[in-house]
Structure 1
Amino acid sequence: MTGALARTNPVTRLLVAIGFAIVLVLSVDVVSAGTALVLGGALLLVAGVVPRGLVLRMVPVAIVAPIAGLGIALYGVASGAVLLDWGFVHVTEGSVQLGLATFLRVLALGVCGTGLLGGIDATRLADGLAQLLHLPSRFVLGALAAFRLFGLLGQDWRALTLARRARGVADRGRLRRFAGQAFALLVLSVRRGGVLATAMEARGFGGQGGRTWARPSRLGPPDAVLVVAAAVVLGVAVSASLLTGSWHPVAVIGR
């Protein structure tokens, strides 16, 4: 990732993404979700997010969002004029509006979340979590080690597949083969985790004394700019919703 967003601290980007999620789940309305989607997407593009990469990461969200919106429109809270009443399907003007709001909210959450968190360096994030948020170093370093080894699962799976084929035990029984291979992968992962934990303990990662860090994690002007810009975007989204009378808190909708 290049641009201004790459110069921000990963912790700042994580907290901003959480802030977007909190504000967007407070109300289910078209105005706030649509405004956050447009302004948040524009902010990410200005900050240096590559549009092609963002679109590729948004593919799963683009599949889930219409399904969520359609489900709410068909089976959501009924209000207003009835548009369709057929068996379990009861579509009204209110349920269609809620479905559209849900669709836009899922898209907004996806765009802001993937745009802010996509491309984060795991090591920098771990440094920030431990040094800035003061999370337990054992937990942070253990999670970092697990994340680093996560990519090996695919390689282990392919190696197990080739090994079983070489032994002639992977030619039939697809379901049985998958179950046995999955169990073998689990055993291999547990063993590797135990070896890694022993190695980290031997190198002092579990010590009780003060810890030093090879890469200091600091906050700078780009972090302040990102926080202010995100606050402005969320403020405009909430204000527009309140001014147009579209703000509907989730607690009120559930009653």
Structure 2
Amino acid sequence: MSATAATRRSGAGRGAIERLNPVTRLLLAVLACLPVLVSLDWLSATVMLVGLLVVLRAAGARPAAMLVRLAPVAVAAALAAATMALYGKPGGRVYWQWWLVEVTRRSVTMAGAVVLRVLVLGLSAVVLLGGLDLTAMADGLAQVLRLPARFVLGALAGMRMLSLFVEDWRTLGRARRARGLGDTGRLRRWTTMAFALLVLAIRRGTKLATAMEARGFDAQHARQRTWARPSRLGAPDVIGLTAAAALDALALVVSILAGTFAPV
């Protein structure tokens, strides 16, 4: 009984974000990145990062899962911060200097801002865009954003074909090893396999395009197309977008009032 209850609680917490319309999740990711893209200061990025963590935690995202997903982003943020601190535009008090390297108050401040901005971008992308259902996203793009059906369906078909490339690459590698060609000349092997994969992708894309045209995926009937899965915006979507817009406004207003706002 307790295991069942725990499973339900875990599914409910995780589903708080997954229940949002995929278009809403895409727009939320864009809104979350907006303040750090229009300003270079550390304060707006700090407000956005803290706000995102609070909102995502309230929506049921587990801290342990977020830390695991953000590990590569944290490494990239640390490398970017180190580069900015060592080679960024100097200014203010000099902490350390050697040849072309000059660590100053300005470069250290910019390094901290870079870390925060990268974490905001990574957190919004990983948590909000991670695990999106491509079919549900296509339904939302066509029905909510009213994008052309032919473009949406073609993009969906292309994205689904991308998942086949890894298996095709492995199959080509096994075929070369079976013929005794897999262990010599790495550069030549890679070039040959890449060309074979390109030819295979073109053939598969041509067949897919022909099949889609034969089934009525053309511009003539695009306005009359119906959808098997309806995609609509509900109250959670409106609440999420409102909260994201309010958080954006708060971050920018705090930055402007504190005098740290630095437009790109």
TM-score normalised by L of structure 2: 0.89
1:109-158, CA deviations, whole angstroms, 9 ceiling, x for partnerless residues? 11122111111111111111111112121111111111112111111111
| Mapped partners of 2:175, 2:15: distance in 1 | 45
Name structure 2 gaps, 5 residues minimum: 1-10
Instruction: Give the superposition deviation at 1:54.
Output: 2.9
Match of 2:83 in 1: 71
Question: Using a 3 Å threshold, how does the CA distance of structure 1 residues 55 and 171 change in structure 2: closer, same or farther?
Answer: same
1: CA distance, partners of 2:64 / 2:218: 42
Tell me, in whole angstroms, the C-alpha distance in 1 between the residues paired with 2:27 and 2:220: 28
Which residue is equivalent to 2:6? Answer: none
CA contact (8 A) 2:35 2:251 kept: no
Match 1:28 to one of 19, 22, 40: 40
Q: Deviations over 1:151-199 (max 9, x none)?
A: 1111111111111111111121112111111111111111111111111
Q: Secondary structure at the match of 1:237?
A: helix
| Cα offset, 1:227, TM superposition | 0.9
Pair 1:235 & 2:249 matched = yes
How many angstroms does 1:206 deviate by? 1.5
Whole-angstrom CA distance in 2 between matches of 1:56 and 1:187: 38
Q: 2:102 aligns with which of 90, 108, 121?
A: 90
Which shows bigger deviation, 120-129 or 55-64?
Answer: 55-64
Which of 107, 116, 139 aligns to 1:127? It is 139
1:5 aligns with 2:17: yes
Match for residue 216 of structure 1?
A: 230
Alignment of 1:138-177 (within 5 A): 138-177=150-189
C-alpha spacing 1:186/1:28, structure 2 compared with 1 (3 Å): same
Q: Which moved more, 1:59-68 or 1:230-239?
A: 230-239
Separation in 2, partners of 1:123, 1:103: 34
| Aligned CA-pair RMSD | 1.6
Q: Percent identity?
A: 52
Count of aligned pairs:
250
Q: Indicate if the aligned counterparts of 1:44 and 1:116 stay in contact, CA closer than 8 A.
A: no
Amino acid of the residue matched to residue 115 of structure 1? V
- Using a 3 Å threshold, how does the CA distance of structure 1 residues 68 and 120 change in structure 2: closer, same or farther? same
* Per-residue deviation, 1:94: 0.7
- After TM superposition, give the deviation of residue 240 of structure 1 in Å: 2.6
Distance (Å, rounded) in 2 between the aligned partners of 1:212 and 1:141:
12
Task: Kindly state the Cα deviation for residue 52 of structure 1 after the two structures are TM-superposed.
Answer: 4.0
Contact 2:35-2:45 within 8 A present in 1 as well: no
Tell me the distance in 2 between the aligned counterparts of 1:64 and 1:57: 13
In structure 1, stretches of 5+ residues that fail to align are: 251-255
Contact (CA 8 Å) 2:90, 2:103: kept in 1 or not? Answer: yes
| TM-score normalized with structure 1 length | 0.92
How far 1:237 sits from its partner (Å)?
2.1
